[in-house]
Amino acid sequence: MRRRLSGPGGLPRFLRRTCVLLVCTGLGLAACAPNAVRLAPEAADQPWVPGTGEQGQPNALLPQLQGAQDSAARPGDDTRPPDFTIPANPELARMAEAPQLDTTHSYGLAELIDIAQRSSPDTRLAWEQARQAALAVGMVEATYLPLITANVLAGGIETSVPDPVPGRDRHIKLTAQGTATLVAFEWLVFDFGQRGAVAKAAREGSFAANVLFNAAHQKLILEVASAYYRHGAAVNGLRLARQSLTNSNAVLAAVEARMQNGQATTVELAQARQQVAQSKLKMVTAEGLVRDHYQGLLTAMGVNATQKIRISEPARRPLPARVDHTAEEMIRLALSRRPDVVASYAALKASKAGVEAAQAEVMPKVFLTGVAGSNDTRYGMGNLPPARERHDTSAIMLGATVPLYDAGLRAAQIRNAQSQAAAAEQTFRKTQNAAVSEIVVASNVLRTALESYRAAGALADAANTTYDAALDAYRNGLGTVTVATEANTALLDARLAQIEAHATALIAAVNLAFLTGSLTSRDNLGLYGPRH
């Protein structure tokens, strides 16, 4: 006689236990949910203290933060203000591996660009986005193939029924246990071009992502080159500041020499010393500017700001006198290869493919489906020997689905896709107009920078002549120290203006190359600027 697993008319014992366990678990979770508010700060004016909730109870969810804020103020502590310190997480302090650099080598612009392209997170992010877009194409193309799934089901059922023999006050247990294994496939055979339209949109998206990946490198070249030229201008400015200090000391020495001969006054001596002090202040400012632009260059490269690297100075090559290309030629060239214009046009084509996909959604779908499997079942009743039954099943069907009524959903989807295509076309036109405007402005900036460089050069030559004449005149008693110091200041300003104009012209050339889509490598750094 088998042991009965259930009472008269009741559930099997293991089912009752399972139900009790599920109910208890649910009640426990329901009781914990309101207490989760303890994870939040206790009051609006009190700091969040990691590791504790309300009433100072330990928070088991944050054991790694225990003891991170022993100095944080607790509610009710009136002796010191609340401390809103965030606990330190050592994981966040792990920096990416820095590039291996030769600290004894002076890196030029081309080398710095190469380092940036290998180290910058921006290019790696663009690369991953391009890979994701390419994988999206593969996922769409996978829908052309059938979907095959394997399923395995196993289980049992147990029931207890009254004994049909009159006078017997007992129940008979009925059991059934079995397994079912089956393989099913479903294949969308024909969909009126919907998958083709979706695949076309995905391919356009992948193309745009690849274009933007190249654009990320072009932008990186622009940023590194611009930062490099600014750093070079700052270094040259520091050199001029030091030369200005030398000139100021020369004026001071001339005043002191005349003082020994009784030919200078204390006012002149004070003016000369003031000029020296001002030159030292300008030199300190120039040194700070060099450090700032050095950090700016490291930031543009995407490397750690603590990286130590030696930077060579830009080669001093003469700038052209004028812009050779006309704006119309640059505009036609730019509109055919500028990354943002190309990507915007790809987005327009993708949106038009989206319209085709939405229109195909209202058409019938023809599919092929099938299944093959086997069942193995064992039956038991009371003390009788169990029975076993096994059978195989297979089927294949060709079907079609036709949308009849959807409350206007598909029609709205078509109109939405058409609206998105219209918006994409306007975005493309806007991108074109913006490109034209940017190119014209950049061309004007370059032209102005070249003219400023020529004017600043003439001014620097005149200021140098004036300084030399003023100093000689003072030494010979024919001039004043005021004229000499003013000439020194004017000479520094003129040379700084020349350096700034030179760097501005180089940056403007690189920027124009970027805006016309020709800033494509580290060896092509501008239409009109020098190559490095």
Tens-digit pLDDT profile for residues 499-525: 888 888 889 989 988 998 888 887 776
Is residue 309 within 8 Å of residue 264, measured between CB atoms? no
Q: In which element (H, E) is residue 524 found?
A: none
- Residue numbers of the chain with a pLDDT score lower than 70: 1-34, 51-78, 98, 163-169, 264, 317-318, 320-327, 382, 525-532
CA-CA-CA-CA torsion for 240, 245, 251, 254, nearest 10 degrees?
-120
Determine the Cα–Cα distance for residues 303 and 490; give it in Å rounded to an integer: 39
Query: Which pairs with CB-CB distance under 8 Å and at least 24 residues apart come from 203-208?
Result: 203/137, 204/346, 204/347, 204/349, 204/350, 204/353, 205/133, 205/136, 205/137, 205/346, 205/347, 205/350, 206/130, 206/133, 206/134, 206/136, 206/137, 207/346, 208/133, 208/342, 208/343, 208/346, 208/347, 208/350
Determine the Cα–Cα distance for residues 420 and 408; give it in Å rounded to an integer: 18
So what's the pLDDT on residue 326? 62
So what's the pLDDT on residue 64? 42
Task: Spell out the SS3 assignment of 48-114.
Answer: CCCCECHHHCECCCCHHHCCCCCCCCCCCCCCCCCCCCCCCCHHHHCCCCCCCCCCCCEECHHHHHH
So what's the pLDDT on residue 26? 63
| Phi, psi (deg, nearest 5) at residue 6 | -150, 160
In the numeric block, which tokens belong to residue 495?
Answer: 């040379």
So what's the pLDDT on residue 433? 93
Burial call 81-92: b when 16+ CB within 10 Å, e when fewer: eeeeeebeeeee
Closest Cα partner for 393 from 404, 407, 377, 378?
377
Domains, the chain, in order of start with CATH, read 123-144+191-364+402-515 (1.20.1600.10)
Backbone CA torsion sign across 443, 440, 494, 106: negative
Closest Cα partner for 143 from 112, 110, 188, 101?
188
Backbone CA torsion sign across 72, 76, 80, 81: positive
So what's the pLDDT on residue 11? 46
Closest Cα partner for 255 from 272, 280, 243?
272
